[in-house]
Amino acid sequence: MSSTTTPRVLDGTAIAAEIKSELVSKVAEAKHRGYTPGLAVILVGENPASQLYVKSKVKTCAELGIYSEMHTPHESVTTDQLLALVQSLNERNEIDGILIQLPLPAHVDTELLLEAVIPEKDVDGFHPINAGRLLSGAPSEKVLAPCTPAGIMEMLHRSNIPISGQRAVVIGRSNIVGKPIAAMLINASATVTVCHSRTRNLPEIVREADIVVAAIGRPGFVTPDMVRPGATLVDVGINRITDPAEFNRFFANSPSRQESFAKRGSTVVGDIDPAAFALSSAYTPVPGGVGALTIAMLMSNTVKAAAMRRS
């Protein structure tokens, strides 16, 4: 594909809507069989970003007919108290999924808590058993996999982006995105390189990629010179920027962004410089790309967990 063709926008909002509409019938089917999929969300403290995410998760459950409940312990809650809460949710039959919103306060033992969720109810796919199953290449319909990377794969598949035999470069090595998306791309027969803050010659490596997944949390980190014309660009970053100089670096030519920046004093930019999108054959916008899929995949995992526990 040449750089002169107009890149395709991978519309996460539209794909998420498609996934959610499929889930409506799966939830109806579950109810017909005598159960309602149920999600419990634990939100510790009052982190505004986390509150927003959790609210959106609970709202989406209601839209799809999934039962949900929220547990909101105070910031000062102890690891032991949280372990007791997780234990009680593990034991309740009407709860199919348990989601512990991250980050947790520094005094809480996050790893211990994530391992306390029984793997059958681990709709975030963070338990070592599920991480191991993913790495082992277990069939996707039998694994609860982390939602953001699962959403990326769903988006690539539904958009008919070829993966098998392609060179994929993942930038970022987090347990939530970088490592699991690398495993999923390997399982789909891509040739995968994972880059991170210590990688030498990173631009050179990224230039080899047919598919770039950027998940490092640095605004506009992937610049046009790092992109092979015709590559598919997947942008996982959601970085809020308020500095006018930084804003102008990315959006000097975008009247609509300028208007909203002037009004709100901030905007979001991904980990990929928007100027790089023009070189791609397809890209995920920010906002409205990958972010839109995460909640849809959480719903999908909840419905899947409910069915798997009963099969």
Interface residues with ligand GUN (CB under 6 A)? 99-102, 124, 147-148, 176
> Residue 126 or residue 251: which is nearer to ligand GUN going by CB?
126
Give the residue nearest to ligand GUN (CB): 102
**Residues recognised as catalytic:** 57, 101, 124
> Residue 101 or residue 166: which is nearer to ligand GUN going by CB?
101
> Residue 100 or residue 279: which is nearer to ligand GUN going by CB?
100
Q: In angstroms, give the least distance from the CB of 99 to ligand GUN.
A: 5
Q: In angstroms, give the least distance from the CB of 222 to ligand GUN.
A: 21
Say which residues have a Cβ less than 8 Å from residue 128's Cβ, sequence separation at least 6: 115
Q: In angstroms, give the least distance from the CB of 176 to ligand GUN.
A: 5
Q: In angstroms, give the least distance from the CB of 145 to ligand GUN.
A: 11
> Residue 126 or residue 221: which is nearer to ligand GUN going by CB?
126
Q: In angstroms, give the least distance from the CB of 229 to ligand GUN.
A: 32
How buried is residue 130: exposed, middle or buried, by Cβ count under 10 Å (0-12/13-18/19+)?
A: buried
> Residue 108 or residue 176: which is nearer to ligand GUN going by CB?
176
